[in-house]
Each structure stands twice: as C-alpha cells, then as structure tokens.
Structure 1
Amino acid sequence: MNKSSVHSYLISLVKDIAQNDGDYNTELPILAIARRSTVTDPMPCIFGLGLGVTVQGGKSVTLGEEVFEYGSGQALINSIDLPVVSYVTQATIAEPYLGLRLDLDANLIVQIATEMDASRVCKGGCSRAMSIVNLDDELLDALTRLIKLLNEPKKIPFIAPLIQREIIIRLLDGEHGPMLQHLAAVGSPSQQISKVIAWIKLNYTNNISVDELAAKAHMSSSTFRQHFRTITGLSPLQYLKNLRLQDARHWMLYEDMDAGNAAIRVGYESVTQFNREYARMFGEPPLRDIKRMRNLNN
C-alpha cells in the first residue's frame, strides 16, 4: 500500500478501538490511544521518553517558550521526561482528533544504538530533547502493524517486541536519530542531564540547589544551567517547580488532598507561594482549578 492507503488504514484501526472520546489503554502497556471531538484546553502534563503520534487532527505542545505543532502523519518525539502544556488544536465530530502514545525503552535504545554503532556520531554534543518527526512510509507501516496486532492478543508477546525494535531502529537511522543517540553516548552532556533528571524525579520534594545538581552532572553551575536549558527548554529550577506543581495537582485531583497538605507534600515551605505559582501555571488557584478539572472529567 502507498502512504495514503496506509494512513487511511491506520485511521480506521484507531477508530475501531476509540469509538468515543476518551483515553484508551491497550493490551500493550507501552501503547495508548486518544480521541477528542473538540479542541481542548491547555493541559500541563509530563511527557516521558516516547513518540506521540497525531493520526488525525492536530495538536500543540509548549515546552518552555517553544511551541511544537504537529498534525496528521506527524509525531512528537522526546528523549527525556519533560513538563509541557498540551492541547488538541484540530478536532470535529466528523473528523475527531486521533492520537497514539508509544513509550520507548531507554535501555533498548542504548542497546540498539550500540549495535548500530550510532552513538559514535554524537559524543560530546548537546541537543533539544524534543522535536517533530514526519512519519515516512516505513514508520507508518510499523505503527499500523502494531495497532493491527491488538486484534491478535495471543501473538502480542512474540511480535510486539520485534515491531518495537524496528521502530527504534528506524528512528535512530532517521534525521532525528542523533537526539536519541545521545542516550547511548557515554559521558555526553545529554546523558549527564538525563541522569540528573532521573535523580530529580526521585528527590524533587527535598530542598535542591542548582550547585548540587551541577555536581551530580560533573559540571560547573554555569555550564550545567546552559546544557539543561538547551536540552529541556527550561532552567533547572523551572523544571523542578513544574514537577512539584503537577504532582500537587495529582494529589488534589485524585487523592482529595487539600492545597496546604499537597504543597507541603511536594516540597513547598510556603503555601502562599504554592498558591501563587499554581495559579500562574494552571490559570486558576488550586480550589477553582480542581473543581473545573472534576467537572471536565464528569
């Protein structure tokens, strides 16, 4: 089939699974599907290592001051966990937004990049951890086969890892391969920043200084700040703040925790400061925002 036919087939497969608006987990833990019939409000969230595919419609993601717009047949790839603001920009009842989220395995990327000897081309470099991918025929075909495999659940454990490996190989071999190859470049700034971010995720409720983070990356504070912003689009303290606020929102929304306790739980010493920064990030104070979110989910 040509690209147009493959794309049309992929749309039909996704529609068969997502027959109504909502988020759909699949038999593959690494694969999720979304459908929306209207544009959505901006939603702060964390995008992990993976591929976000727009099958139909359009989507916008803001990272720091940079905006990534991607439509039908395009995907957003990111190589480390990043706090972003995401929303659907193109969707109607007749042509709803359809999207896929495919998580990627960092260890598998490193293994394949090493086998391909891909890591040698990017040692010492530093690049943004998020970019837009135009899906070529081969990537579209691989994604289509992965979705189609959901109709054969007994074969998933045997075939899905092969398709997942193929997708990673094609990404590494494509124009955006260097971004993923940094994961395999021992000692590169990207790998060092990635390790620091993994540490931040485990310790973000504690008092953390930029000097402490720089030491973990084996960099001076000024060099660390520069590399961190280049890769994530945010300063280290902005990243830390976004992580805390989004986790606090989770505790209030899903665990019915009040704002004061949520603020303390995620590492804020001042509830007043928490309320101020929360409103700046989410557009409303905690109580009003959580009420609005619950009304949207009902």
Structure 2
Amino acid sequence: MNQPNVYNLLQSLVEDIAQNDGDYNTAIPILSIYRRSAVTDPMPCIFGLGLGVTIQGGKRVTLGNEVFNYSSGQALINSIDLPVVSYVTQATITEPYLGLRLDLDANLIVQIAAEMNTSGICKGGPLRAMSVIALDDGILDALTRLIRLLNEPSKIPLITPLIQREIIIRLLDGEHGPMLQHLATVGSPSHQISQVITWMKLNYINSISINELAAKAHMSSSTFRQHFRTITGLSPLQYLKNLRLQDARHWMLYEDMDASSAAIRVGYESVTQFNREYARMFGEPPLRDIKRTRALIN
C-alpha cells in the first residue's frame, strides 16, 4: 500500500508547479506536467514509449476498441508509439486533474534488461504494448525525487540519468516487467514489430504494402498482421492511416498548411478521401477541427 506521505509529497510538488491549467515542460527534458480544471474532449494523439501518471482526478485512453482508465496513483505505460484517443474524465476547479508524463528510452531499457538478465527469461507470445499499472512506493519516491531535482538545476544533468535508470529497473522488476522485457528481447515478435513501427514512422508518406512490412519483420503476412494487432490494437493499415492523419493535423495546426497541401504532404492521393477519413478520426472536417482546436489552445 502506498505510504500517504510519499504520495502527498508528490501531489504537493506537482501543485506547486502547475498552479494554472496547462501543459508544463520542465527543465528535465523527459518530464512534463499537466493540469486541467474540467473534463476534456477526446483528443487523438500519439503516445510514445513512457509512463503517464495520474496524480489527481482521472483519465481515459482508448486504443482501437480497448479502453484504459487510470486514476490517482495509477499510470499508463506503453512500450511503443501508439495512436490513441486521450481525455480527462475527472476534474473540477476545486480538485483539478493533475498528471505527469515521463518519457522512457528504448536503448536504456534494452541495456538495463541485459544487465538484469531479464531478456533471457522472456517467454510466450507478444503482449499488448499498453497497460494500466498501480504505482508502488519505490516508483512514487523516485518520481518525487525527480521533481524535487528541479530546485537544483545544476544537478539535473548528473542525477536525472540515475533516477531514470532506477525507475526502469523498478518497472522491469514489477508485474508490468514482461511487457518491457518483450521489447528488449531481440528477435521476439514485440521487438520485431517495434522495429517495423520505427521504420513506418520514417516512411509513412510513401506507398507501403503489408508484404513489405512483413518482410522487414521476418514474418509471413498473416503472422505479421496477427502480431501487429495483438501488440498495437490496430491493423498495420489502421496504424499507418493514424500516422498520416496525425501528421497532417500537426501541419495544419502549427504550420498554417491548408487541408489539400497537408493531405498530399502525408501521402494521400485523394483529398476527398483525406477529408472523409480526417472527419471520421477527429470528429469534424479539417477546417472546423483546426478552428475549434486553436480556440481551445488559446
């Protein structure tokens, strides 16, 4: 059971930083903090390898047809980049949603798993790359020390890597360890799919076939489809479409690109198809969605 003083200290530190609603990037590049005083609309986004912690309130993430709810003292951990829909489900002015995001490093996970000799005991088929976990006192304490480090800027470059290693060690040693172990096990289906996803993120604007992706994973097309859906919750083509639509939205939202230009830039040959799939994913056609989102940001 979590020690109240550890959890309360972490909450107090986050409240001191996030005194108003918003996203707070910190002097520690892998650490971000969030505050919301009301529930939010569902927002498609991509969650990278990392740990999303709810400190107060509640949050929901959907991946394909799966729903992940996590509230105070819980975290969402994912081992590869995944296109999800995310929104705050519990937040008020008096008890706002408070959360933090800690990015993890795949190479460091592989290195530490090898040092712990965990990759050799990884058995079974691929595991879903996302799950909700309860935070134990060890991880809560490490996160608390990481945030307190913001008060000692000169020590951040020296101590942050040590705390990051500690958190990865505790994650690998916990109930959620097998998921990260699969990622770290070279030759495992999870590792092969992870490598393919890295390639897809760099090449998604090009025409890509399932056979080409399967060959990169050293699998048959049917086995590749099965493992890909098991790990990501999506088919390879659904994942590819999500990458394209998310990037197009970024270009329109932050670079003032019009819908037709954004569609072509991310690999769509038909602007009509782009508009239709965009509205299906984001709930509105491009122009209305960008206008609404800018109003929320500002």
Q: Which residue of 2 aligns with 1:271?
A: 271
Q: Which residue of 2 aligns with 1:178?
A: 178
Q: Which residue of 2 aligns with 1:67?
A: 67
Q: Which residue of 2 aligns with 1:106?
A: 106
- CA RMSD in angstroms comes to 1.1
Q: Deviations over 1:86-120 (max 9, x none)?
A: 00001011111011000001111000000000001
Contact preservation (8 Å) 1:123, 1:186: no
For the residue of structure 1 that corresponds to 2:229, the secondary structure is helix
Question: In 1, distance between residues paired with 2:152 and 2:56?
Answer: 24
Q: Which residue of 1 aligns with 2:201?
A: 201
Q: Deviations over 1:5-56 (max 9, x none)?
A: 1111111100111110000000100000000000000000000000000011
Contact preservation (8 Å) 1:58, 1:69: yes
Question: In 1, distance between residues paired with 2:287 and 2:207?
Answer: 26
The aligned runs of 1:1-298 (5 Å cut-off) are: 3-123=3-123, 125-298=125-298
Question: In 2, distance between residues paired with 1:165 and 1:82?
Answer: 23
> Aligned in 2, Cα 1:216/1:124: closer, same or farther, shift over 3 Å?
farther
Contact preservation (8 Å) 1:48, 1:80: yes
1:274 positional shift: 0.3
Question: In 1, distance between residues paired with 2:264 and 2:123?
Answer: 41
TM-score (norm 1): 0.98
Which residue identity is paired with 2:38? T
For the residue of structure 2 that corresponds to 1:38, the secondary structure is coil
For the residue of structure 2 that corresponds to 1:194, the secondary structure is helix
Gaps of at least 5 residues in structure 2 are: none
Question: In 1, distance between residues paired with 2:208 and 2:290?
Answer: 28
Greater shift in the superposed pair: 121-130 or 160-169: 121-130
Which residue identity is paired with 2:77? I
Which residue identity is paired with 1:127? L
TM-score (norm 2): 0.98
Question: In 2, distance between residues paired with 1:131 and 1:282?
Answer: 24
Which residue identity is paired with 1:32? S
Question: In 1, distance between residues paired with 2:5 and 2:95?
Answer: 17
1:79 positional shift: 0.3
Instruction: List structure 1 runs of 4+ shifted beyond 4 angstroms.
Output: none
Question: In 2, distance between residues paired with 1:188 and 1:7?
Answer: 36
Which residue identity is paired with 1:100? L
Q: How many residues align?
A: 298
1:125 positional shift: 2.7
Which residue identity is paired with 1:151? N
